[in-house]
Amino acid sequence: MATIAPESITADHSGVAGRRSWTLLIALLTLLVVLNYADRGAIAIAAPGLKDELHLSAFGFGVAVSAFAWIYAPAQFAVGWLSDRLCVYRLIALGLTLWSLSTMLTAATTGLAMLVALRIGLGLGEGVAFPSASKIIARHVPAARRGSANGALAAALAIGPAIGMLGGGIILSGLGWRSIFLIFGAITILWLLPWHFASKPHWRNASDVREELVPMRSILRQPTVWSMGFGHFCNTYGFYFLLAWLPLYLVKDRGFSILAMTSLTTTVYLVQAVSALFFGWWSDRLVATGRDEGRLRKGLMSFSLATTAVAIGGLAMASSMEAIAFWLLFGAAGAGPGGTNPRCSDLGGRRLVVVVRHSFCRPDHRVSGPFTSLGPPCYRSGMKATIYHNPLCGTSRKTLAILEDEGADVRIVDYLKAPPSRDELQRIYARAGISPREGLRAKEPLVAELALLDEGISDDVILDAMVAHPILIERPLVETDKGAALCRPQDRVRELL
């Protein structure tokens, strides 16, 4: 089943208090992902010592690594189902507790069977993170800020292994591989303290509201769901190849020392983190200027996959340490865009929270929540709306964010580049119940120069001036099936929804 999330549980994004609330939650979720990937990758850091001490073959080590995924992938569906019925804020804390304990107990591993069992426990606990984080982002973060929020989580995917490699390498060379798991797990469990205080104000709203359930079979009939899963499968393949095998490959097959391996892998993950943050910020700016979001996200994802494929091919043919370093850094820089793509899409139906991998959507599917992480995309529906938008105007941007957050199917018209005709303006003002004089941007110096506010100036003269000089049109104008409005302040747009 999936859920239709009622608006009553959607956080108020406006105002300083609302912004601080979701910013703190995203900061803690970002830290959660850092810890998640540091603990997940601990086995790779420990591999040079762990594999020898436990007398594991390459096949045995591969079984231990893959055991994590045996439960992690199926857990996404179970966690999605639970997050629809339980308090998602407490559910995410429960998952972290399980995975941190599994990490610490790995320090006591005596053989392959115990290692596999603890990796399964780790996968079950970590499986809670991304479905829950996705639901929290969809609930609290404004649509116009989700690219940056997801960019932060995507950067955390790389920062976690970077910190893990650096700290783990130092621990490995000084204290041995068992200490890696003990220290990493102990640090992770400390996250529960700030999360308790940051999330507790939202517990009541989350648990009191009953959400309408939608059969999963209805979701699985959507072609976009399958293309999303395939896109993420391809994106994850290269990343997990590096996460699980890179340290062992560099040390055992390529002759790197522990410290040289630590330095290189840390740098690789830091480059990927910077790339993810940059592309998250950049993609949000492009969307704000009216770029088609679906096409943009698909283009970034395709670029990321192509870069990863080239980098893996280059690594296979590299014959020197310098060439290995080049191809790893090249792949890391190109991998960043793969993590910045939101996973909420307007499919022209209801708002659905589904447990599926990422939003690799068609151009007509509006995208608005994370891409590189497993979790519930949010399919939102809404009426069609047209906004006459100036991307440099704060009120216009806020209005657009409200429309997207409410699930409207928005057509964005940059009226300074593509101004409406005289007849269109006249029709919009008539629907909005205002005169052309009331729709005039009075603060523009040109208004005074043309004396458009003089009493003898007719509406026809004002309309002609607006067509000739679109800067005179007050923004933003929004039109829906319910009517039209000059949305100043921006909350007036809600009357049209």
Work out the number of other CB atoms within 10 angstroms of the CB of residue 294.
21
- What's the pLDDT at 7? 39
Phi, psi of 88 (to 5 degrees): -65, -30
How many angstroms from the chain centroid is the CA of residue 325? 28
- What's the pLDDT at 141? 74
- What's the pLDDT at 178? 92
- What's the pLDDT at 114? 94
| Cα–Cα nearest to 391, from 368, 415, 407, 367 | 415
Give catalytic residues, as residue numbers.
393
- What's the pLDDT at 215? 62
Report residue 1 as tokens.
């089943």
Alpha helices in 293-393 (DSSP H): 293-317, 321-335
Tokens 């529960």, residue located: 192
- What's the pLDDT at 43? 87
Domains of the chain as residue ranges with CATH? 15-208+219-357 (1.20.1250.20), 384-496 (3.40.30.10)
CA 164 – CA 183 distance, rounded (Å): 11
Report residue 382 as tokens.
């809404």
The H or E element containing residue 263 is: helix 258-288
- What's the pLDDT at 204? 60
CA 305 – CA 43 distance, rounded (Å): 26
- What's the pLDDT at 58? 83
CA 106 – CA 178 distance, rounded (Å): 7
- What's the pLDDT at 346? 36
- What's the pLDDT at 61? 86
Q: What is the pTM assigned to this prediction? A: 0.58
- What's the pLDDT at 224? 65
Per the DSSP assignment, residues forming a β-bridge with 480 are: 385, 483
C-alpha to C-alpha distances, 3 to 91, 140, 146, 308, nearest whole angstrom: 17, 16, 20, 35
Give tens-digit pLDDT for 275-331. 877 887 787 777 767 666 667 777 888 888 888 888 888 888 888 888 888 988 888
**Along the chain (497 residues), what's the average pLDDT of each consecutive run of 10 residues?**
41 49 84 89 84 87 86 79 78 92 93 92 87 79 68 77 84 88 93 89 57 61 71 74 74 80 82 80 74 72 85 85 88 72 39 34 33 36 80 88 81 90 90 89 88 87 90 91 88 82
